[in-house]
Amino acid sequence: MMTKKSLCMLGGTALTIALAAVAAPASAQDAGDIQVKVLGTAVLPDGEIDQVNFDLVGLPAGTQTEANNNFVPTLAIEYFVSPNISVETICCATQHDVDGVDGAAGTELVADGLLIPATFTLKYHFNPGGVSPYVGAGPTYFLWIDDEPGATAVALGADDFSFSDELGFALQAGIDIPIGDNGFGASIDAKRYFVGTTATWFADGTPVIETEHNLDPWVISAGLSYRF
């Protein structure tokens, strides 16, 4: 699980790179440029139950859930429509468990849910070519490519599980810092996703529990970039 100490170390490293690069000369940023970023990314989901659609098992009263955090490498590719405007997509996969908390503390309900958060954002860059803050927004599609019932769910008779793929929305803000005049740079990025999923547990092919969940993760990244 991603800890607060790890997040502080990530932010501190990125800040050190940024401060070292602020005074460096920058090359021009033009329409048609492509920027590639290699990032370390903390994925910090919520995972709480928003609604119970049906429950044939009898969950304990007040049952609530949370998804664990994860830290993954991320590749971002960005195309500049103009010096100020770009379109960006990211490539990564992140794995999460879902555990019970209130009413079901210590239970593992979902194991190794593997998610691809396909995301496209339209970004506006302030001060292009220099130290450049940016904001962005765009659609996301959460595609679950693997999900299994957790150990507790299996012990209670669940033999299959699924998360629903869902369309959502992402807001973004960050800063690009040039390093020298050869296209290299550093980047710090934060996204807030607004997307949910439907979780369904099965026993002998029959749905026995179905719940709606708020995922709504924060996704915090820092790393290096190259523009060409």
**pLDDT tens per residue, range 170-216:** 999 999 999 998 999 999 999 999 999 999 999 999 999 999 999 99
What's the CA gap between 33 and 76, in Å, rounded? 14
Contact 142, 117 (CB under 8 A): yes
Do the Cβ atoms of 168 and 214 come closer than 8 Å? no
Select from 174, 129, 150 the least CA-distant residue to 27: 129
By residue count, the chain amounts to 228
Neighbouring residues of 135: CB distance < 8 A, sequence distance ≥ 6? 123, 124, 172, 173
In this prediction, residues 38-45 reach a mean pLDDT of: 97
81: its two tokens: 């429509």
Please report the pLDDT score of residue 22 as a whole number: 40
What is each CA distance from 212 to 56, 169, 194, in whole angstroms? 15, 17, 14
Report the distance separating Cα 25 and Cα 218, nearest Å.
32
Burial level of 123, CB count in 10 A (0-12/13-18/19+)?
A: buried
CATH of 4-227, one of 1.20.1070.10, 2.40.160.20, 1.20.950.20, 3.40.50.1100: 2.40.160.20
Model pTM?
0.82
Domain boundaries, the chain: 4-227
Look at 38 and 205; give whichever has higher pLDDT.
38
